[in-house]
Amino acid sequence: MNITKEQIDALNAVVKVAITKEDYQDKVQAILEDYRKQANIPGFRKGHVPMGLIKKQYGKAVLVDEVNKLIQDNLNKYLTEEKLDVLGNPLPKQQDDFNWDAENLDFEFELGLAPEFEAPIKTKKAITQYKIVADKKMIDEQVDRIGKQYGKLISKTEVSKKDEVTGTFSNEAEEIDNKTTIELSNLKAKKATDALVGKKVGDVVTLKTKGLFKEDYQLSSALGLAADKSADLDTEVTFTIEEINEREPAEMNQELFDKLFGEEKISTVKELRDKIKEDTEKQFEQQSDQKLLNDITENFIENTKFELPTEFLKKWIQVTGEKPLTEEEASAEFEKSEKGLRYQLIEGKIIQENNLQVNFDELKDFAKGFIKSQMAQYGQLNPAEEELDNIAARIMSNQDEVKRLSEQLMSQKLLSLYKEKANLKEKELSYDEFIKEVYGKE
């Protein structure tokens, strides 16, 4: 067997594979001999079928199969040894008059080659790195929520604006019959607040659903409806008052601090506010990091210029999917995937040039950290190391999970690299300002 490469241009090449009969005949003969031993053909004893008949019936199929295996194994080996960075897979060139009975078999494969390019991390134009801070208003609201959450309920005889009211929403036509507790401070409609203030247990109030609450999700929860059904609901419901309570905030003392954070971890309201600020900003960091990663990705794609073997890739897309595509469909599919391919090449180059790797121990530790954060959401704050090791071992035995965690860990490594080497300018702002600037939402 002989494999040679003809370079068409910087991004395209043709690999020629020349196979002689000596390359495959022993293997083909051995398989046909085995077929002969196993063949059950009427008129012949098992194992005594003439070889000529076996060759006539199975010879061509075995030949084609063995030659294809030979090509695949040796072509992959050739690409590796020659260090050819190919895009997609080699595409066999169509040979309409191909003769499988010839002594020598010649095949040609088109290659699409990855381009050469530079991908400097430090760009001329600085990229904004947002730092989201918890402002005084946000901390005040959180302190207030803690006070209410751990406070006590005081029964009232008459509704006021600061009360919680338990009752049942009803509307027979809309099949609404749901007992719930609402806080008057969450109501958006002034008419609804006015209608409830001064009412007593047993009173029935009629309310309009449209614009009733400040947040859409509160309406679906209060009415016991699916979010899609409550979204555009514009009707009247009755609310029968069953209980009225005022929530007296908990006193900000050591007992509450110990309940929240552990014994003697904090001891003053200032330390509570500092802790809330620290924890909140840590949560915001993930959102700002994702924004930074997205912006750097877009910057790389926009400013790293290189050509792709476009025609080859379109042809490859056209013939390698679940079903063949038309030229127009393949072109459209290429346009949709081009950005992703470009960043994949850029990211690969950055990973290679900066020697970023994910090893087993790092991945295991990352998996354990992920498990701990998941368990913490369910109140398990200090899981045993042995338990973490056992769960991590199960995760690491699943190849799909390993791939997903490896990608997440590599993203973290890339983000750390960008923070260290990219041209960044920090911008500090509140969460509301961040949402408004980044997403254009008030």
Residue with the larger pLDDT of the pair 382 and 373: 373
Alpha-carbon distance 182 to 165, whole Å? 5
In contact, 150 and 259? CB cutoff 8 Å: yes
Q: How far apart are CA 221 and CA 223, in angstroms?
A: 6
- Count CB neighbours of 16 within 10 A: 14
Q: How would residue 320 be classed by pLDDT, with cut points 50, 70 and 90?
A: confident
What pLDDT was estimated at residue 47? 77
The residue from 194, 218, 248 where one domain ends is 248
CATH number at residue 227: 3.10.50
Residue 32 has pLDDT above 70, yes or no: yes
pLDDT above 80: residue 382: no
* Residue 122 CB coordination number (10 Å): 10
Q: Is residue 140 part of a domain?
A: no
Q: Is the residue at 262 inside a domain? A: no
pLDDT for 16 beyond 70: yes
Instruction: Looking at the structure, tell me whether residues 287 and 387 fall in a common domain.
Output: yes
- The CATH number of the domain holding residue 47 is 3.30.70.1050
Residue 234's pLDDT is: 92
User: 280 and 159, same structural domain?
Assistant: no
The string of pLDDT tens digits covering residues 17-26 is: 999 999 999 9
Decide which of 307 and 217 is more confident.
Answer: 307
> Where is the domain boundary, 113, 143, 162?
113
Query: Both 283 and 198 in a single domain?
Result: no
Domain-embedded: residue 215: yes
Q: How high is the mean pLDDT of the chain?
A: 91
Q: Is residue 325 located within the same domain as residue 378?
A: yes
pLDDT at 379 over 90: no
Angle of helix 254-261 versus helix 269-303 axis, rounded to 10? 30
Q: Same structural domain for residues 244 and 272?
A: no
Q: For position 381, what pLDDT does the model report?
A: 63
Assess whether 240 and 275 both reside in one domain.
Answer: no
- Stretch 138-164: mean pLDDT: 91
Q: Give residue-wise pLDDT tens across range 164-215.
A: 999 999 999 999 999 999 999 999 989 999 999 999 999 999 999 999 998 8
Query: Which tens digits make up the pLDDT trace of 48-58?
Result: 788 888 888 88
**66 falls in which pLDDT band (50, 70, 90)?**
very high
| pLDDT, position 293 | 94
70 and 158 inside one domain = no
CATH at 297? 1.10.3120
pLDDT value at position 231? 80
Instruction: Grade residue 442 by pLDDT with cuts at 50, 70 and 90.
Output: low
| Residue 54: predicted pLDDT | 87
For residues 277 and 356, membership in a common domain is answered with: yes
Percentage of the chain with pLDDT > 70?
99
Q: What is the model's pLDDT at position 333? A: 94
The answer on 414 and 301 residing in a single domain is: yes
Q: Which residues contact 86 (CB under 8 A, 6 or more apart)?
A: 79, 111, 112, 113, 114
- Quote the CA–CA distance of 360 and 30 in Å, as a whole number: 43
**Where does the pLDDT of residue 223 fall: very low under 50, low under 70, confident under 90, or very high at 90 and above?**
very high
Lowest mean pLDDT among 11-25, 223-237, 370-384: 370-384
pLDDT at 222 over 70: yes
Within a domain: residue 407? yes
Q: How many Cβ atoms sit within 10 Å of the Cβ of residue 100?
A: 10
Q: Is residue 36 domain-resident?
A: yes
204 lies in some domain: yes
Q: What does the alpha-carbon distance between residue 112 and residue 84 come to, in Å, rounded to a whole number?
A: 10
261-316 pLDDT, tens digit per residue, is: 888 888 999 999 999 999 899 989 989 999 999 999 999 999 999 999 999 999 99
- Domain contains 307: yes
| Distance in angstroms (rounded) separating the CA atoms of residues 410 and 347 | 10
**Same domain, residue pair 171 and 310:** no
| Same domain (yes/no): 315, 426 | yes
Choosing from 84, 113, 142, the residue where a domain stops is: 113
Overall domain count for the chain: 3
What range defines the domain where residue 425 resides? 268-439
Per-residue pLDDT band for 375 (boundaries 50, 70, 90) equals confident
Does residue 192 belong to any structural domain of this protein?
yes
Residues 227, 283 within the same domain: no
Residue 36 pLDDT: 87
